[in-house]
Amino acid sequence: MSLNENHGLKVILIEDNLGDQILIKDYLEDEFPKLNLDIASDFKETKCLLKEPNNPYKIILLDLSLPDVDKDTLLKEILALAPSTPIIILTGQDDIHTAIQALTLGCTDYLLKNEITSKGLRKSITYAFERKHIDKQLENSVKRYQQLFQLNPQPIWVINNNTGGFLEVNKSAIDKYGYEKEEFLEMSMQDIDPDFDKLDLQKYHDASEILRDGNLHQHQLKNGHNIQVRLYVNPIEYQGIDATLLMSIDLSETESYIRQIEEQNQQLKDIAWEQSHLVRAPLTRMMGIINRLEEKHMAHIMEVDEECSLLLKNVLKSAHEIDDVIRSIVTKSSSKDK
């Protein structure tokens, strides 16, 4: 959301006092030449205007004292009808406490009616847009963090530095360790890692230091099985609490992958050995026999017609080609083994 005056400023003024309506309208027209202003004198009229799909208001100027609704209901209804629109409260001195409370509910600013000027109103509107923009950025940032946290394929927790207790847990940790989120939040890190010392977290100020220590830990799953993990940490502040973002990598899975690769490599070696010794041996003998037949034919010791001679040459050529292929496979297998 941005305040682009070139496109005009569409405002709804919710005010039941005719004099205040005229005054605010004049102030707005002084500062915003392309003003598009709607005025509502009661909540019924306000509700109709805010529900109209063709009225995307950029700002709401709200008097808390309307004749047909109480202040608390008015605020809740306006916030529900226009949750993303900046709201500036217009209030009298005797209602300033309620105006301040409105800020905690989501309103962006309040102005005392007897102190409003055209410049002050413009400043408040500009501030309201900037605050809404920042709030939206923070909201998007929180969503991105939650997505990164929850969708990470590795188990991640947020740990209270003082107690070691779990403050937050992602889905991967729930799936991997077998505990429900509610169970995790009643546990501490020591419940799954007896050797975990929460005091160790206070020795480090960045992740790079603690990563160099190795951090090999044995974790116990809910089903009683143990897994070997490596821990990665990063200090954070979580809801005002000194905390640590902790991620575990299951090394047992990594070792399993390594074993599979080693087994595959061994199979390749066995195949290469078979090709080198078991296949090439009879192939070599066959090539020798063919050569001997060729020699006898050339020496006229045995008679072979032209067709047989051609077949012998092709068989010998094919045998040499097979031998070259086997040699190539063995060479490649040996180089991978190194």
Residue 81: give its domain's CATH number. Answer: 3.40.50.2300
DSSP code per residue over 131-155: HHHHHHHHHHHHHHHHHHHHH-SS-
User: Within this chain, do residues 115 and 77 fall inside the same structural domain, yes or no?
Assistant: yes
User: Within this chain, do residues 94 and 20 fall inside the same structural domain, yes or no?
Assistant: yes
CATH of the domain at 204: 3.30.450.20
Rounded Cα distance between 229 and 214, Å, is 10
User: Within this chain, do residues 29 and 66 fall inside the same structural domain, yes or no?
Assistant: yes
* Cα end-to-end distance, the chain, whole Å: 61
User: Within this chain, do residues 205 and 297 fall inside the same structural domain, yes or no?
Assistant: no
User: What is the reported pLDDT for 173?
Assistant: 95
User: Within this chain, do residues 157 and 278 fall inside the same structural domain, yes or no?
Assistant: no
CB 233, CB 210: distance < 8 Å = yes
User: Of the candidates 251, 284, 307, which is a domain's last residue?
Assistant: 251
Rounded Cα distance between 173 and 185, Å, is 12
How many domains are there within the chain? 3
User: Within this chain, do residues 22 and 124 fall inside the same structural domain, yes or no?
Assistant: yes
Each of the 338 residues of the chain gets a pLDDT tens digit; together they read 445 554 578 999 999 999 999 999 999 999 888 889 999 999 999 999 998 877 688 899 999 889 999 888 998 999 999 888 899 999 887 777 888 888 888 888 888 888 899 999 999 898 888 888 787 777 777 777 777 888 888 999 999 988 889 999 999 999 999 999 999 999 999 899 887 776 566 554 444 444 444 567 889 999 999 998 888 888 888 888 888 888 888 887 666 666 676 776 676 666 666 655 656 666 666 667 667 666 666 666 555 566 666 766 767 777 777 777 667 766 665 665 55
* Rg for the chain, CA atoms, rounded: 40
User: Within this chain, do residues 122 and 162 fall inside the same structural domain, yes or no?
Assistant: no
User: Within this chain, do residues 259 and 247 fall inside the same structural domain, yes or no?
Assistant: no
Nearest to 59 by CA among 127, 11, 107, 109: 11
DSSP conformation class of 156 = E
Q: Where are the alpha helices (DSSP H) in the chain?
A: 18-31, 43-51, 71-81, 96-105, 118-151, 171-177, 181-184, 207-211, 251-273, 280-298, 306-337
User: Of the candidates 207, 231, 251, which is a domain's last residue?
Assistant: 251
Query: What residues make up the domain containing 240?
Result: 153-251
Q: Phi and psi of 187, rounded to 5°?
A: -110, 175
User: Within this chain, do residues 54 and 138 fall inside the same structural domain, yes or no?
Assistant: yes
Rounded Cα distance between 213 and 128, Å, is 49
Which tokens go with 268?
A: 């390749």
Nearest to 86 by CA among 68, 66, 60: 60
User: Of the candidates 116, 148, 180, which is a domain's last residue?
Assistant: 148
CB 113, CB 156: distance < 8 Å = no
* Overall pTM surpassing 0.85 (yes/no): no
User: Within this chain, do residues 127 and 9 fall inside the same structural domain, yes or no?
Assistant: yes
59-63 and 156-160 strand pairing: unpaired
User: What is the reported pLDDT for 163?
Assistant: 87
User: What is the reported pLDDT for 209?
Assistant: 46
